[in-house]
C-alpha cells in the first residue's frame, strides 16, 4: 500500500520511554490507540514529576525560603518554555489552567459575559468539541447572544463559503477547532482567524488535538486565544494552557478571584497581579506545569514535524485498511489528509460492542460520541469507534486493530 509519508521516527527507541506499552492483557500486548483522549507519559516526564516532589516541592510566589524560590522559578520558567513551544511572545501570554475546557471557560466567562449582548453572534463549527460548543452556547444564553455553526460537508471538511456567509459585523467571536477529535479534519484556521478579524471579531482556536501532533505557531496563526491540554502531549493531567494576546488579556477581567492573582487588597476593593498570574488564582498546578515544560522538551527532541508525519502516516494506513473492508464506514476526510485518528463503525455493530471486543484483544480504543454529540447526530449515528495514534504506535499495531475488527465481524455475523 503506497503511503504518502515516509517513516521518520525511531519508534522502537521511543517505545522504551513508555513502560506501560509493555503491559499485557489476556496474554496479548497492549495496543494503546486512545491517544486523542490521553497520551501516555514518557520516563523523562515521570522523572520530572518524581524529582519535583522529591527535591523541590513548595508553594510558589509566597515563600521567601529557598525551596519556594526554586519552585517559583521552575514554575515561572515553565510558562516561558510553553510559550516558546507554541511561538508565543513570553509568559505574559501563557496562562496555566486545568485543561482545554477550563481555558475555554476562562475566556467565555471573563471576556464573553462582559462583552456579549443581544444582537451579537458567536460563530463555531459543527465539529466543535463540547468544551467549546456547550460553553459558548451557555454563555450566549446568559448574554442574549446567538450562536451559529459553520457547516461540515459530506467529506468532513468545513464549508468555508458558509463560513464567509455566517461571519458578519454582528460576529464578536469565532471559535473553531484546529483538528477535529472525531473526523480528524485539519481546519484552515489561519483563514478563519483572518475572516474573524475582517469583521472585527476575535478568534479562539481549540488546539487540543493539534499542539500534541504538529508544529504550531500562534503568532503566525494570529489567533487571539488558543487552548490545549498537557495530558494529550506526553504531559500530566491537571494542566492546560490558555494562550491569549497580551493586550487582550491585559484588558480582560479575571475569571477566578482569590489569592495569588491580586496586587493590592483592601476591605473595599482589589487590584490585579500582572500577567499571566492575574488568571491563575489560588495555588496553581506547580508540578504539572513543570512537567509540561519537560514534555515540550521531549517532543521537541523528537521534532514536531516528525511527530506530525508519523501520526498522519498511521492514520492514512488505518483509514485505508479499514475503508477497504467494505462494511466499515470511516468518517471524515481521505486517508492522506487527516490528523492522527480514525473514527469508524463496523456495519450495524454498536461502537461500544466493537470497543468491548477489541478490548478482549488488548486493543484500547474509544467508543462513544467523543464529546461531539451534535456532529454524531448529523452523521446519523449515536456513536463511533475511534482509533487515535501517537509517536509510539506502529503499523503492526494498526494491523492488530484491523484483525480485531475482523474478529468482531465474525462474532456478530
Ligand atoms: N477540544 C478538543 C478538540 C478535544 O479533543 C478535547 C478532548 C477537548 C477540547 C477537551 O480537553 P480536556 O483536556 O479539557 O478534556 N477530547 C477528548 C477526546 O476526544 N476523548 O477524550 C477527550
Better pLDDT: 180 or 2: 180
> Quick one: cell of 232?
494529550
The number of residues making up the chain comes to 413
Span from the CA of 218 to the centroid of ligand 1 (angstroms): 19
Of 213, 177, 219, nearest to 83 by C-alpha is 219
Residue whose Cα lies nearest atom 18 of ligand 1: it is 37
Listed by start position, the domains of the chain span 11-41+303-411, 47-301
Is residue 184 within 8 A of residue 339, CB to CB? The reply is yes
Residue whose Cα lies nearest atom 21 of ligand 1: it is 37
Span from the CA of 356 to the centroid of ligand 1 (angstroms): 22
Phi, psi of 377 (to 5 degrees): -55, -45
Burial of 12 by CB count in 10 Å (0-12 exposed, 13-18 middle, 19+ buried)?
Answer: exposed
The model's confidence at residue 2, banded by pLDDT at 50, 70 and 90, is low
Can you tell me the distance from the alpha carbon of 74 to that of 68, in angstroms, rounded to the nearest whole number?
10
- Measured from the Cα of 131, ligand 1's closest atom is 9
Q: Could you write out the three-class secondary structure of 118-157?
A: CCCEEEEECCCCHHHHHHHHHHHHHHCCEEEEECECCCCC
Residues with CB under 6 A from ligand 1: 36-37, 99-101, 129, 131, 177, 181, 206, 208-209, 229, 366, 370-371
- Using the predicted structure, report yes or no on whether residue 53 has a pLDDT greater than 70: yes
- Give the fold, CATH level 3, of 11-41+303-411: 3.90.1150
- Using the predicted structure, report yes or no on whether residue 408 has a pLDDT greater than 50: yes
Q: Ligand 1 pocket: which of 129, 158, 189 to mutate (most atoms <8 Å of CB)?
A: 129
* End-to-end CA, the chain: 28
Per residue in 68-91, pLDDT tens?
999 999 999 999 999 999 999 999
Q: Which residues pair with 387 in a beta bridge?
A: 342
Span from the CA of 37 to the centroid of ligand 1 (angstroms): 6
Catalytic residue among 234, 287, 296, 371: 371
Per residue in 171-228, pLDDT tens?
999 999 999 999 999 999 999 999 999 999 999 999 999 999 999 999 999 999 999 9
Residue linked to cell 498522519 = 312
The model's confidence at residue 63, banded by pLDDT at 50, 70 and 90, is confident
Can you tell me the distance from the alpha carbon of 11 to that of 1, in angstroms, rounded to the nearest whole number?
20
Per residue in 339-382, pLDDT tens?
999 999 999 999 999 999 999 999 999 999 999 999 999 999 99
What is the mean pLDDT of the segment spanning 141-166?
98
187, 193, 196, 199 alpha-carbon torsion, rounded to 10°: -140
Looking from the CA of 213 toward its CB, the CA atoms found within 13 Å total 29
What is the pLDDT at residue 5? 73
Active site residue 371: yes
Architecture label for domain 47-301: 3-Layer(aba) Sandwich (3.40)
Span from the CA of 264 to the centroid of ligand 1 (angstroms): 37
What is the mean pLDDT of the segment spanning 281-291?
97
What secondary structure does DSSP assign to 236-281, as a single string? -SS-EEEEE-HHHHHHSPPSS-SSSSEEEE-SS-EEEPSTTGGG--
R_g of the chain, CA atoms, integer Å:
22
Can you tell me the distance from the alpha carbon of 358 to that of 364, in angstroms, rounded to the nearest whole number?
7
What is the mean pLDDT of the segment spanning 299-323?
97
- Measured from the Cα of 386, ligand 1's closest atom is 19
What is the pLDDT at residue 204? 99
> Long-range pairs for 191-195 at CB < 8 Å and ≥24 separation?
191/160, 192/158, 192/160, 192/163, 193/221, 193/222, 193/223, 193/224, 194/222, 195/163, 195/164, 195/167
Q: Ligand 1 pocket: which of 96, 100, 238 to mutate (most atoms <8 Å of CB)?
A: 100
Amino acid at each position: 500500500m503506497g503511503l504518502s509519508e515516509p517513516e521518520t521516527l525511531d519508534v522502537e527507541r521511543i517505545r522504551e520511554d513508555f513502560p506501560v506499552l509493555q503491559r499485557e492483557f489476556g496474554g496479548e500486548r497492549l495496543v494503546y490507540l486512545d491517544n486523542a483522549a490521553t497520551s501516555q507519559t514518557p520516563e523523562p516526564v515521570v522523572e520530572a514529576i518524581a524529582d519535583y516532589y522529591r527535591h523541590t516541592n513548595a508553594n510558589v510566589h509566597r515563600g521567601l525560603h529557598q525551596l519556594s524560590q526554586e519552585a517559583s522559578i521552575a514554575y515561572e520558567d515553565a510558562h516561558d518554555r510553553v510559550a516558546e513551544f507554541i511561538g508565543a511572545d513570553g509568559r505574559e501570554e501563557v496562562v496555566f489552567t486545568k485543561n482545554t475546557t477550563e481555558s475555554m471557560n476562562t475566556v467565555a466567562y471573563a471576556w464573553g459575559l462582559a462583552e456579549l449582548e443581544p444582537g451579537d453572534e458567536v460563530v463555531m463549527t459543527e465539529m466543535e468539541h463540547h468544551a467549546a460548543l456547550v460553553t459558548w452556547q451557555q454563555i450566549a444564553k446568559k448574554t442574549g447572544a446567538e450562536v451559529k455553526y459553520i457547516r461540515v460537508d459530506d467529506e468532513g471538511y468545513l464549508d468555508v463559503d458558509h463560513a464567509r456567509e455566517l461571519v458578519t459585523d454582528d460576529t464578536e467571536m469565532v471559535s473553531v477547532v484546529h483538528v477535529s477529535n472525531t473526523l480528524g479534519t485539519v481546519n484552515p484556521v489561519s483563514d478563519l482567524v483572518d475572516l474573524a478579524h475582517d469583521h472585527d471579531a476575535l478568534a479562539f482556536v481549540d488546539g487540543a488535538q493539534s499542539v500534541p501532533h504538529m508544529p504550531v505557531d500562534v503568532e503566525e496563526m494570529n489567533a487571539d486565544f488558543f487552548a490545549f491540554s498537557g495530558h494529550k502531549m506526553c504531559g500530566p493531567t491537571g494542566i492546560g494552557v490558555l494562550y491569549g494576546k497580551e493586550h487582550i488579556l491585559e484588558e480582560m477581567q479575571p475569571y477566578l478571584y482569590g489569592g495569588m492573582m491580586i496586587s493590592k487588597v483592601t476591605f473595599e476593593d482589589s487590584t490585579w497581579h500582572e500577567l499571566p498570574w492575574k488568571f491563575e488564582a489560588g495555588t496553581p498546578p506547580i508540578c504539572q506545569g513543570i512537567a509540561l515544560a519537560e514534555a515540550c522538551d521531549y517532543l521537541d527532541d523528537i521534532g514536531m514535524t516528525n511527530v506530525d508525519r508519523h501520526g498522519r502516516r498511521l492514520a492514512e494506513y488505518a483509514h485505508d485498511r479499514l475503508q477497504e473492508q467494505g462494511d466499515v464506514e470511516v468518517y471524515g476526510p481521505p486517508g492522506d489528509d487527516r490528523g492522527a485518528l480514525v473514527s469508524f463503525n463496523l456495519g450495524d455493530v454498536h461502537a461500544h460492542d466493537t470497543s468491548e471486543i477489541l478490548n478482549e484483544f488488548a486493543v484500547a480504543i474509544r467508543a462513544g460520541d467523543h464529546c461531539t454529540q451534535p456532529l454524531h447526530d448529523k452523521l446519523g449515528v449515536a456513536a463511533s469507534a475511534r482509533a487515535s495514534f501517537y509517536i509510539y504506535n506502529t503499523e503492526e499495531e494498526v494491523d492488530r486493530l484491523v484483525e480485531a475488527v475482523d474478529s468482531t465481524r465474525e462474532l456478530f455475523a
